[in-house]
Amino acid sequence: MKAIYFCGSIRGGRENATTYQKMIQHIQQNHNVLTEHIGNTNLNTNEQTYDKDKHIYTTDINLLNQADLLIAECTIPSLGVGYELCYLEQKGKPVHIFYNPTKCNLSAMIKGNNYFHLYPYTNEEELLTLLDELLKTL
């Protein structure tokens, strides 16, 4: 059982929140998801007071430091997700990135970086199949 940091867009836009939720449910069948709140479809995405944002930042950094690996859904652009991918790359942990190329152009900072494992998909069924295949190898 691995400790998995799941990344999806929060303040960048919540259009894919239900997809994040389904991915998290698949991962939780055999692993521990450190960031279950990413799949919460009622999550508050507004800026908070400085002290509260600083507290969330510290909590997330602690979770990143506990993670065995990272799984991200990157179709919706997000500053926070880009930050987190880089953070775990620096720590030498595996980083797996799913994205739908029919709905986005993935950043060259990610696509051109050989460190990352990329999983392009074209619909949700394919996404969940690719995810299940990855989970079997962990």
Residue 103 engages another protein in binding (rule: CB under 8 A): no
- For the bound state, the minimum distance from the C-beta of residue 123 to another protein, rounded and expressed in Å, comes to 19
Cβ pair 81, 8 in contact under 8 A: yes
CB-CB contact of 30 with 60 (8 Å): no
> With CB under 8 A, what is the number of residues at the site for another protein?
43
Query: Does the protein bind another protein through residue 109 (CB under 8 A)?
Result: yes
Report CA 113 to chain centroid distance, whole Å. 17
Contact between 80 and another protein per CB under 8 A = yes
β 117-120/69-73 pair status: unpaired
Residues forming the site for another protein (CB under 8 A): 9-13, 45-48, 50, 53-58, 60, 74, 76-87, 90, 101, 104-114
